């Protein structure tokens, strides 16, 4: 396993892998690796030909009175864990490598960020979105793996990725014609609608299902397999929403079956 510290070297490694036709998985972390990270690395190693784990304590996602300086840092420990899980590269840049002097470009998500941690930690998600975007640009992963515990972060990153492409990334997307790809955007549109309703306080699961259904049904090439709102604990459909849950949909676009979902956990 290699430890890479510069963006240039990381990009060169990625280019080499891409030239060989290998798929790349990314597990972004701030180090202090624990069991949650380990299971993400295991999945990444199983699902991708090469895996990069970034270990970067991202200064711009910490507020002025937060624990940036004291955040645990132990590269030796993290590298040993990553190596034991079969990771190929630990990407460990210095802050100046990611944010050169006078750095001034940020990624801001305008929705989903004004409640929960977004409300309590102003600027936090701007920092997260910016660094995740940079990591995606550098590593160009086919798949990226994030923990579900931080549900707000996950929802924001999923939305950021979906808005970049408009279509939740899936290897099945390559089966779609151009017309079908356009039609498939109804999945992410319907999931955003569900997310907006739930974030706005809607607790009636039928209202959420109906909103999703109406968006999908308006697309002539789409055929619904299922639209569900379920409890996270037992995956059973619910009538009214609690503090956590999952909106999950499966839709055929032509012959291709696509899935998308919105997972929320306001208890976190
Ligand atoms: O969840 C984390 O550890 C961080 O927010 C992330 C996604 C690695 C970005 O710095």
Dmax over CA atoms of the chain, in Å, equals: 55
Please provide the average confidence, as pLDDT, over all residues in the chain.
92
Ligand 1 pocket test, pick from 56, 73, 132 with the greatest ligand atom count within 8 Å of Cβ, gives 132
Give the whole-number percent of the chain exceeding pLDDT 90: 73
Task: Tell me the per-residue pLDDT of 124-162, one tens digit each, with 9 for 90 and over.
Answer: 999 999 999 999 999 999 999 998 878 889 889 988 887
Task: Tell me the per-residue pLDDT of 24-80, one tens digit each, with 9 for 90 and over.
Answer: 999 999 999 999 999 999 999 999 999 999 999 999 999 998 999 999 999 999 999
How far away, in angstroms, is 38 Cα from ligand 1 center?
15
- pTM comes to 0.72
How far away, in angstroms, is 150 Cα from ligand 1 center?
9
Q: Are 33 and 57 in contact (CB under 8 A)?
A: no
Q: How do strand 256-265 and strand 244-253 relate by DSSP bridges?
A: antiparallel
77 is catalytic: no
Task: Tell me the per-residue pLDDT of 162-187, one tens digit each, with 9 for 90 and over.
Answer: 777 655 656 666 677 888 988 999 99
Task: Tell me the per-residue pLDDT of 84-94, one tens digit each, with 9 for 90 and over.
Answer: 999 999 999 99
Among protein residues, the one whose CA lies closest to atom 9 of ligand 1: 128
Ligand 1 pocket at CB < 6 A: 28-30, 58, 61, 128, 131-132, 150, 153
């Amino acid at each position: 396993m290699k430890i890479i510290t510069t963006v240039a070297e990381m990009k060169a490694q990625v280019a080499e892998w891409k030239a060989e036709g290998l798929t790349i998985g990314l597990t972004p972390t701030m180090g202090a690796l624990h069991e949650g990270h380990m299971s993400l690395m295991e999945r990444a190693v199983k699902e991708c030909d090469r895996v990069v784990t970034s270990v970067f304590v991202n200064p711009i996602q910490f507020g002025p009175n937060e624990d940036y300086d004291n955040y645990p840092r132990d590269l030796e420990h993290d590298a040993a864990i990553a190596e034991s899980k079969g990771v190929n590269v630990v990407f460990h840049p210095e802050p100046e490598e990611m944010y050169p002097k006078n750095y001034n470009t940020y990624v801001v998500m305008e929705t989903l960020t004004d409640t929960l941690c977004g409300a309590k930690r102003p600027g936090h998600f701007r920092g997260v979105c910016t660094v995740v975007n940079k990591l995606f640009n550098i590593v160009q992963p086919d798949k990226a793996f994030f923990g579900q515990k931080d549900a707000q972060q996950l929802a924001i990153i999923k939305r950021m990725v979906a808005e970049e492409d408009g279509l939740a990334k899936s290897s099945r997307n390559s089966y779609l014609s151009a017309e079908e790809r356009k039609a498939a955007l109804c999945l992410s549109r319907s999931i955003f609608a569900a997310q907006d309703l739930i974030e706005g306080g809607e607790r009636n699961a039928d209202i959420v299902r109906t909103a999703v259904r109406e968006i999908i049904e308006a697309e002539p090439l789409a055929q619904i397999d299922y639209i569900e709102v379920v409890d996270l604990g037992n995956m059973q459909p619910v009538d009214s929403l609690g503090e956590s849950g999952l909106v999950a949909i499966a839709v055929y676009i032509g012959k291709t079956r696509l899935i998308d979902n919105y997972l929320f956990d306001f208890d976190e």
